[in-house]
Amino acid sequence: MFATTMVFAQTISIHDGQQTVTNGQIKAWGEANQQNANRNVIVLDFEGLGNSDAVSQFYNGGLSGLGFGPGPNHGVYFGGTTLALIDTDAGGTGNFANEPSPNTIMFFLSGGGAVMNVPAGFTTGFSFYYTSVGTTTVYVYDGLDGTGNLLGSTSFPPNYNLNCTGDPTGAFCHWDAVGVAFAGTAKSISFTGSEDQTGFDDVTFGSITPGPVDVPVSNWALFIGIGLILVFAVIRFRRVF
């Protein structure tokens, strides 16, 4: 598998080494993520999936290829070539660092890309983080499995090692947050790039910026206010009766 003319940037792989992570550790990461599911938007962070594990039905009320899950049921399923990958520093075989939600990302080894299906459809746009040796292009379709009309496509430049170091290891150490807007109702997204040289994380619906959204401070003030009203209401209720 060695090319006669080696160009480091072109032969580097995002998937490498020996797995040591246990199934128990992987399940714990998934459970920790589900406890933090108090969000305004849907974020697929791939935590709780196995190493080199087909994402498959994990976000659709079912299981991954290796039998992990179910994850949060978002009505989303992935094509067979879409895999999860765990950071080598966390016991997997992922040659990456600084992933936006540790320790698991999405990638593909074959099939030319990762296809995400949303049968109920979604509108406006979505966002995600990526790291890649080559150009990454995302295609949006109004049919399942990359069929139907092409609603839009957006390309992003190579970025995998821009001004960064590992955590402590991982050659794919730079991630960019990007958004894709489109008109119409999308039912599938094809994430493409170079096989074994492109990674994705925090695929987010309902926001042009990827990842979990914290509750704004102003909302906490509102919640505290509602809580105080309820406390006074209970005190008053007890006095009346």
Q: Is 101 or 131 the residue whose CB approaches Ca ion more closely? A: 101
- φ/ψ of 231, rounded to 5, equals -60, -45
- As a whole number of angstroms, the distance between CA 6 and CA 12 comes to 10
User: Least distance from C-beta 166 to Ca ion, angstroms?
Assistant: 5
User: Least distance from C-beta 202 to Ca ion, angstroms?
Assistant: 6
Q: Is 83 or 97 the residue whose CB approaches Ca ion more closely? A: 97
Q: Which residue is nearest to Ca ion (CB)?
A: 170
User: Which spans of this chain sit near Ca ion (rule: CB under 5 A)?
Assistant: 45-46, 87, 89, 97, 101-102, 104, 167, 170, 201
Q: Is 46 or 160 the residue whose CB approaches Ca ion more closely? A: 46
What is residue 71's three-state secondary structure?
coil
Q: Is 3 or 168 the residue whose CB approaches Ca ion more closely? A: 168
Amino acid at 178: V
Q: Is 103 or 190 the residue whose CB approaches Ca ion more closely? A: 103
User: Least distance from C-beta 139 to Ca ion, angstroms?
Assistant: 22
Q: Which of 81, 186, 203, 103 is nearest to 140 (CA)?
A: 186
- As a whole number of angstroms, the distance between CA 167 and CA 165 comes to 7
CA distances in angstroms from 82 to 86, 114, 212, 220, 231, listed in the order given: 14, 5, 22, 38, 50
User: Least distance from C-beta 194 to Ca ion, angstroms?
Assistant: 19
By the 8 A CB rule, do 189 and 138 touch?
A: yes
